[in-house]
Amino acid sequence: MELNLLSSIEALSVFFIISLCYRLILHTLTSLEPWVNDKRRGGMNMGKIVRTLGVLIAMFIVAGCSAHSPFIVKDTTDTEVVSKRSYPPHQNEVFLTEQPLPPDCQAEVIATIQVGKIWYGDAKNIYESLANRARELGADGVVEMKTWHQPSGFSWAAPHGSGKAVKLDDTSVFKQLTGEWR
């Protein structure tokens, strides 16, 4: 997927904010060091606190490198077009399946679609978003579809999904697969 300028700026600003927070927390803990290390009060080792903070910050940074950034503030649909041809949008139903197409099937992968929501919800919301985007691309189906939940926007478990939008010469191939029409 192409990295655009806006996502680079967003990533840098998030990194900058996290590093500022880390420095602020570290400064606060350093000023509390005599109290924290006081064994009579059951104090903790300052080194453990700093290492724990470092691990937590590293986890946030790694989470930002997931399929969809957890720092999105609106529902997103990313599309990586791989086909050289474009097809007109349509209003027909689109077949959604987690399975790959049979190897002998004549099909063209139009694009890879990734969808992310910012609020809690069911994976069925993702199905509808994938189907809508596939229709916009002129695809007959979405194959190798995956859904999952991850922190995003304003929730700890927002639905996300991905799949490959395909155009087939003969849609009867879908009868061999398990899935649903939307």
Is 92 a domain residue? yes
Check pLDDT > 50 for residue 1: no
Q: Indicate whether 95 and 149 sit together in one domain.
A: yes
Domain count along the chain? 2
Q: The CATH number of the domain where 110 resides is what?
A: 3.30.110.70
How far CA 136 is from CA of 2, 102, 110, 132, 169, in Å, comes to 20, 24, 11, 6, 18
In a domain, 69, yes or no: no
Q: Looking at the structure, tell me whether residues 135 and 107 fall in a common domain.
A: yes
Measured between alpha carbons, how far is 80 from 68 in angstroms, rounded to an integer? 14
| Whole-angstrom distance, CA of residue 21 vs CA of residue 35 | 21
Same structural domain, 81 and 151: yes
Question: What whole-number distance in Å separates Cα of residue 179 and Cα of residue 100?
Answer: 11
Cα–chain center distance at 158? 9
Q: At 143, list the tokens.
A: 């194959």
- Domain end, chosen from 63, 85, 107, is at 63
The conformation of residue 101, written as its DSSP 8-state character, comes to P
- pTM, two decimals, is 0.65
Same-domain status, 102 and 161:
yes
Last residue of one domain, picked from the residues 33, 63, 93: 63
What average pLDDT score do residues 19-41 get? 64
Q: CA nearest 130: which of 83, 170, 72, 181?
A: 181
Say whether both 97 and 158 belong to one domain: yes
Q: Is the pLDDT of residue 175 over 90?
A: yes
Domain that holds residue 49: 5-63
